[in-house]
Chain A
Amino acid sequence: MEITLNVNHNIHKVLVESDEMLLDTLRKLGYKSVKKGCDTTTCGICSVSIDDELIPSCSYLSYRAEGKKILTVEGLKEDARKIGEALTAEGVEQCGYCSPSLVVAIHTMLKQYEDPSDEEIKHYLVGNLCRCSGYEGHNRAIKHYMEVRHDGSK
């Protein structure tokens, strides 16, 4: 079937199978930041934002995204740069495989919680696994990003 997707404000007409998952469609369209991890909705690595909600693209049928706004890390630009710098400064961007989805998850979290507490951050991001870091550095990086996100500083 042919569907129309809005990815990072770009409109794509694309042919998909009925049972094709959004992860595969996005990669086919060139959004290679979207990665496959477990492929069972367990690791969070494939997460993208759809209408400001965090969605596991490995288990989300492509046709269901029609008429919705999909956001991947490629569409985040300035936010992605700042979050990336905060993660790097804490030494938690190691293999980097989890980073694109973590950046998107932080972005959607901050759409829903203006100033999340430590508990809220942990609860929101617990489904985004990272094999390398140990998470404490993530928490420090997120807090630093929350301080600088509204100004031009690093």
Chain B
Amino acid sequence: MRFEQIIMPTSLDEAYNALVNDKKSILLAGGAFIKLQKRNVNSAIDLSKLDLSYIKVEPTTFEIGAMTSLRQIEVEEELPSALKDSVKHIVGVALRNIATIGGSVCGKYSFSNLITALLALEADLVFFKKGKISLVDFLKSEDTDPDILVKIIIPRVIQSLYTSKQLTYTDFPIINMAISKNDHLRISVGARPMIATLIEDPNLHLSSKELLKDIDFESDLKAGEEYRRALAESMLEDALKEVRTWK
């Protein structure tokens, strides 16, 4: 992507006004994905001076600023394992030092490791204008009104896990999956290759095949539909063995 000027707002108000006043502007987080896009815009609104890079460990929740890098998430001991493990295979340390959680969520990438984990962890998103909205609703929404993601809130969970299969250590996943346990169990399946989705009311007495029967899979260059389903079934079976040991 090419852009003619950089705008460096120091308040969310300033950033939002710049965004709505110029239709040919874009919010710039880590910039890793933006760089790959073949587009020209007038201005890039750099979010790095808005103090949105933080992880707050609260008694019942974690609050993660939108500009927090994937590497910060990876090395923060307190965060749930599903979240930390979801970023570990994303390319390499260098990319994870620049790519952000906000850019990952707002990109709505269907292969996203992080979205799969956040969905299982029951994440809420806080936007500057639209306020709080659940990740589930955000993924379904077709609302294209410009807004700025400020932070992500996840409740503390008792246990969680993340697992994925990719053709090489750092490749895009061909299936990813996350499970979290609180007073209930949440299982999300992503890179189907469509974006992550939840298994409704998962019943641990069912087999992984039965649990996945209403989840759609499709084929793409990396894997066929049947292979993906078989892989997901086997991954879920393994994951459930661990889940059954959770207190």
| Chain A residues packing against B (C-beta within 8 Å) | 1, 18-19, 21, 40-42, 44, 47, 53-56, 59-61, 63-64, 105, 123-128
Contact = CB atoms under 8 A, between A and B. Distances in A.
Q: Main SS of chain A's interface residues?
A: mixed
A22 to B, nearest CB: 11
Contact of A59 (B3, B35, B44): B35
Contact of B6 (A18, A42, A44, A54): A18
Interface in B29-81: 31-32, 35-36, 44, 46, 48, 71
Nearest to B40: A19
B178 to A, nearest CB: 20
Nearest to A42: B91
B92 A126 contact: yes
A19 B92 contact: no
A19 B2 CA distance: 6
Given A18-B5, A19-B2, A55-B98, A127 B35 contact: no
A125 B97 CA distance: 13
A73 B91 CA distance: 22
Given A61-B31, A127-B93, 16 more contacts: A18-B3, A18-B6, A19-B3, A19-B4, A41-B91, A42-B91, A44-B94, A55-B97, A56-B32, A56-B95, A60-B31, A60-B98, A63-B6, A64-B46, A127-B92, A127-B170
Contact of B94 (A18, A47, A64): A47
Interface string B178-189: 000000000000
B44 A56 contact: no
Nearest to B5: A18
A70 to B, nearest CB: 14
B109 to A, nearest CB: 14
A89 B48 CA distance: 43
B97 A53 contact: yes
Nearest to A57: B94
- Chain A to chain B: the 6 pairs with minimum beta-carbon distance, closest first: A127-B92, A56-B94, A54-B94, A18-B6, A41-B95, A47-B94
A55 B44 CA distance: 20
Nearest to B30: A59
Contact of B35 (A41, A47, A123): A41
29 contacts: A1-B6, A18-B3, A18-B4, A19-B1, A19-B2, A19-B3, A19-B4, A19-B6, A21-B35, A40-B36, A41-B32, A41-B91, A41-B94, A53-B71, A56-B98, A59-B31, A59-B32, A59-B35, A59-B98, A61-B6, A61-B31, A64-B46, A105-B93, A124-B93, A126-B92, A126-B170, A127-B93, A127-B94, A128-B92
B135 to A, nearest CB: 25
B94 A126 contact: no
Interface string B1-20: 11111100000000000000
A61 B7 CA distance: 13
A65 to B, nearest CB: 12
Given A18-B44, A41-B35, A127 B95 contact: yes
A106 B147 CA distance: 40
Contacts of B46: 64
Given A19-B2, A61-B31, A126-B170, A55 B36 contact: no
A80 to B, nearest CB: 18
A136 B169 CA distance: 16
A59 B6 CA distance: 15
B83 to A, nearest CB: 17
